[in-house]
A and B are shown apart, each in its own frame.
Chain A
Amino acid sequence: MAEATHEAFDPLATGSRRRQIRAKATVYGLLLFFALLYLSPLFIIVMNTFRPLEEIVREGFISVPGLLSSQYWLEAWSGFCLGGTCEGVSPYFTNTLLMTVPATILSTAFGVVNGYALSKWRFKYDTWVFGLITLGVFLPAQMTLLPWAFVLGKLGLANTIGGLVLVHTVQGVSFTTLFCRNYFVAVPDDLIKAARIDGAGFWRIFRRIILPLSPPILIVCVIWQFTGIWNEFLYGTVLTSGTNQPITSAIVAFSGSGTGQRHYNVEAAAVIFAALPPLFIYLIGGKYFVRGLTSGAVK
């Protein structure tokens, strides 16, 4: 409805002709300026994945490329050595995928049900329960590393992808519950009341009323969790090791403190591999992400 009202109004089409042109030039000029600023790192990093190392070292990262080669992509994906394993980032990419997908699904599933229960089924101390769960959003990871190590050790999940899935699920549920609860609060209580009068129970209402309304917030949760977990560094580095590590740890290891020349071009290509899945998710889901966020997730 708001969109429709908006359609009728075009601020750039008001005022005198000259003023319109000046306004348009300002708007597009600023947009272009910011777009270039925002895209420049992406451009620089992609460009440097094709350049030979000596050229990068000699000319820096920002210069007109001479020789171009795609071999560094191959090296990044399946070539370079890390801790005696020479398979590039591909095994770590798989690890991250195996960690991110289940953790995203689990934390989203729990979050939706939690959010529904907390927003539509009032019970004693429900705000306390909600407060407790959402406090988890704010705990700094450094603080929880050792306790997690202890817990995972007791559960026999130390140094496993499964352990990381557990950690990210527990931590992620805080976010997803927060998002979903705030989203479902906006669902009219009358709908639920009517259904209850008709004899529908918790799960029936969930299936019939809540789930059909959920896609926007599901997309928010999935995108938020997927990118957050995919990009996480500290847990992966400390709680797993060797070939069980996620891709962020591998990237840091590769660019890290080792001796010898830094392979900037291979590093850049590895970085792109690490960044592609979340980028892809944003590209396809970005529009819905924004829509879902504003329809209640962060209110």
Chain B
Amino acid sequence: MPENTTPTRASWWQKLTDWTPQLVLLPTLFAAAIYVVLFSLWTLWISVSQSTLLPNMAYGGFGEYAALWQSKRWTVAYQNLFLFGTLYVLGSLFVGTLLAILIDQRVKFEAMWRTIFLYPLAISFIVTGTVWRWIFHPQTGVEKALNDVGWLSAQFDWITDRDMALYVVVFTGIWHASGFAMALILAGLRSVDGDLVKAAQIDGASMPRIYRRVVLPTIWPIFVAVTVVLLQFAIKTYDLVVALTQGGPGVATTVPAIVVYDLMFERGQIAQGAAAAVMILVGLAIVLIPYVLWTGWRARKEGQNHG
């Protein structure tokens, strides 16, 4: 609360009014300070502490980081995150763009198509993973169905193949998220000036070429925004993998969030789990810092343009 040395009623009231924006932010700021700052600092400290079964604040050094990076499971998980993250984001963008362009062709029943492609976003990762596991598993899903109708040599066992299982996770992730990309990109397409397209068409360009060269480049900020939202999903991916493959076969589809959870909770290695969580945060920073710098740069540039 702001201090006022000679409080007349009016000036006190005035002061309070001036401070209203800060005051309404106070509860959120307080919560965020605890949730973001304190929790992160706590995790950071725990990662160099002697914690095992329960948090223990005594300093223990950086040994847990070394042990973490020597464990095969963690290195596989970290690599998986980068591979999965890249394919998941690119795949969702690609499918989303394709669907958006298709719908943009003034098709009939537009609302219906849009709803069909968007509904997976409403389904939890747990449910998504469970259902697709049923479909992908050779004994219950597509392979069995094909075998049962007489195509005995049909084989579709990616989910049980350690080299292909990660792509099953990618596919399922794309199924879940591409509708989101589609919706945003479609709205972006709708905001593009139709005259631009017409002009290009008069020049004799084909439709795919017009989209590639004229339309999509104008809505690139949307692609960036979608990418950031999807990346934050990718880095947090946990439920989907647990329900779909449980990280298997072997450790083939393990992701960092699973390792953090197992270390912290199942194995009673809270310090190492915290170290893994810190590494996830580092991964996040790698993605976010360029984005933040970029938005700042863009805002400044826009400011200049307007000014």
Task: Report which A residues bind B (CB closer than 8 A).
Answer: 2-3, 5-6, 8-14, 23, 27-28, 30-31, 34-35, 37-42, 44-45, 56, 59-63, 110, 113-114, 117-118, 121, 123, 129, 131-133, 135-148, 151, 170-171, 173-174, 177, 201-203, 227, 230-234, 248, 251-252, 255, 264, 267, 271, 274-275, 278-279, 281-283, 286-287, 289-291, 293-294, 298-299
| In-complex Cβ contact of B43 among A60, A143, A255, A283 (8 A) | A143
Q: Given contacts A3-B190, A282-B118, are A137 and B257 in contact (CB under 8 A)? A: no
Q: Which A residues are CB-close (under 8 A) to B98?
A: 30
Check if B20 sits within 8 Å of A203, measured CB to CB.
yes
Check if B32 sits within 8 Å of A174, measured CB to CB.
yes
| Residue in A closest to B189 when the chains form the complex, CB atoms | A6
Q: Which B residues are CB-close (under 8 A) to A151?
A: 34
Known: A140-B277, A234-B239. 16 other contacts (CB 8 A): A9-B197, A27-B102, A41-B135, A114-B25, A118-B21, A136-B36, A139-B40, A140-B280, A142-B257, A142-B260, A142-B277, A151-B34, A170-B31, A231-B125, A264-B134, A293-B184
CA distance in complex: A172, B135 (Å): 33
| In-complex Cβ contact of A290 among B55, B139, B186 (8 A) | B186
Q: Which B residues are CB-close (under 8 A) to A275?
A: 122-124, 127
Q: Which A residues are CB-close (under 8 A) to B39?
A: 139, 143-144, 147-148
Distance from B63 Cβ to chain A, minimum over Cβ atoms (Å):
20
| In-complex Cβ contact of A10 among B106, B120, B229 (8 A) | B106
Is B261 on the interface with A (CB-CB < 8 A)? yes
The main secondary structure of chain A at its interface with chain B is helix
Is B90 on the interface with A (CB-CB < 8 A)? no
Contact with A along B136-150 (1 / 0, CB 8 A): 000111101100100
Check if B107 sits within 8 Å of A28, measured CB to CB.
yes
Check if B31 sits within 8 Å of A173, measured CB to CB.
yes
Interface size in chain B (residues, C-beta < 8 A): 103
A-B contact pairs, 16 of them (CB 8 A): A11-B207, A13-B106, A40-B135, A62-B142, A118-B25, A133-B29, A143-B280, A147-B42, A174-B32, A177-B28, A202-B24, A230-B124, A231-B126, A233-B124, A271-B127, A291-B187
CA distance in complex: A3, B212 (Å): 21
Check if A23 sits within 8 Å of B207, measured CB to CB.
yes
Check if B187 sits within 8 Å of A140, measured CB to CB.
no
B residues 172-211 with Cβ under 8 Å of A?
175, 179, 183-184, 186-188, 190-195, 197-198, 201, 207
Q: Which B residues are CB-close (under 8 A) to A13?
A: 106
Contact with A along B17-51 (1 / 0, CB 8 A): 10011101101110111111111101100000000
Check if B130 sits within 8 Å of A38, measured CB to CB.
no
